[in-house]
Chain A
């Protein structure tokens, strides 16, 4: 009997091994490997004509963060400014999509079941539509000869087309449009779970609407707010497609800078260092998110945003 159990145990172990070996090998080589080598690259010397020399070099970071005063080069804060501007644009995108989605999530959560499913489907459907097509739509709308300007001029509100495309505003509009479904799902998940009796209790105890909102509703939907914000912030920060189509050469974000380093300037170590800056920003945010969620979970079972979005 115990021998039979042991063979069963062995067989299970073999199955587990068989299940895990291919994905582990694949991800170790093609996911962890590339990440490791990118980190190494960010500390290497850029070669004169592209490529790298395998010598330690800390000025890739110095050029961004401020200690790059060498014989050949003075420190130029332009790279750090681009980084900050990207953070600002991504944060604006997050804020706008949050303001846009919050009431909508409330609206949907009050619907009868059947209609609710339809509307959720309608809101998430753009996720299945190609990103480039959705950005292209806004190029058509915002161009000087585009739909928006034509409409305003047709109504006689303006005489000359407004310069919207190739500004930060255009980039933010495009990114909000593209990433708004990511904000909706986690927000909806946490608003759906709201316990209405707590809101009633708050009102019964004499709180007015504004107090109820800020003291009860907002804290209870915080995991959804933070989760949605992070899921929108991450792709916005490193985005270079939106900025290059809607921002042109005028709105350079860190994503464009990285793209240039890899595909035209061919300074890969510097590009890798810029990439590490983006990674660092993302990691800081994730740690913050984990802190908020674990704190919430200690109080109640909070929603797992990543899973909500994937499902």
Chain B
């Protein structure tokens, strides 16, 4: 019996480690080959180079112009700037909206509560493409004109519900007697909110905001439909590059993005461990 158990555990370990290899090898390959100097076949190692990074940051290189894809780094910077603008505004707006509904649902009694719960879950289970085309039809038929503002509005619709769910989870772990105590001791509603409720839900709010920021930076499908001609974000820009042809600079761009994702995720994890 004991021996059999250990055989099964061995199988599970090997399988589990293989699974982690499956998850991380593709990412690792991008990073390693972003330093490959072979301009023709980026998967055959020819030598170490920083040239692809020089290219995307706009430094002069010794590369043949024909092998380059990023004609102007301006476009790339423009896309990055757009992404950051959208993500920052979206994060602020959707954090306020999502937290408001979470507080209302958790701390008040009203008739439409279940309706609000369902409403906040809907964008999460809706396929991206549906929300994308619905927003496109809506913006165009009401003459909004596609641009950064439509991307921001679009992102807020579904990111509010991500914030809502993260904050709600935090509130449900929370003890509401503290708020009652504050009210009993004579604090008015605003003081109680500022001094008691907000500090208590802050980790949830920050977590929700970070999630909103990451998803907004990464969203491709919805943005793809509702971004105007000169309001592309970074993922949309890269998607366009990939569709026109695979060039080695994309490796470098992808690696820089990977680095950012790892930093943000690690900060998130660090904050979560401090919360506990």
Contacts and interface: CB of A to CB of B under 8 A. Distances in A.
Nearest to A26: B97
Contacts of A20: 100-101, 104, 116
A103 B235 contact: no
Given A107-B16, A125-B265, A271-B133, A15 B189 contact: yes
Interface in A263-311: 263, 268, 271-272, 275, 278-279, 282, 286, 306-307, 310-311
A30 B162 contact: no
Given A136-B242, A244-B243, A131 B220 contact: yes
A147 B38 CA distance: 14
A82 interface: no
B129 A138 contact: no
Interface string B114-139: 00100101111111111101111110
Contacts of B156: 26, 30
Given A129-B27, A130-B261, A34 B135 contact: yes
A218 interface: no
B33 A30 contact: no
B169 A27 contact: no
A238 B130 CA distance: 8
Given A41-B137, A130-B235, A31 B44 contact: no
Given A130-B235, A147-B29, A234-B125, A35 B101 contact: no
Most buried by B among A130, A145, A262: A130
Interface string A107-144: 11010000000010111011011111110111111010
A16 B108 contact: yes
B81 interface: no
B59 interface: no
A37 B126 contact: no
A30 B157 contact: yes
Contacts of B206: none
A108 B29 contact: no
B202 interface: no
Chain B contact residues, majority secondary structure: helix
A90 to B, nearest CB: 10
Contacts of B100: 19-20, 22-23
B27 A107 contact: no
Contacts of B89: none
Contacts of B221: 240-241
Given A15-B189, A128-B264, A130-B218, A27 B127 contact: no
Contacts of A27: 97, 119, 157, 160
A37 B136 CA distance: 10
B20 A122 contact: yes
Given A107-B13, A129-B261, A130-B257, A238 B29 contact: no
Nearest to A38: B134
A101 B19 CA distance: 8
Given A110-B9, A275-B133, A136 B214 contact: no
A278 B128 CA distance: 11
14 contacts: A19-B104, A103-B11, A103-B12, A103-B16, A119-B16, A130-B254, A134-B26, A140-B26, A140-B43, A234-B127, A237-B127, A272-B133, A310-B162, A311-B165
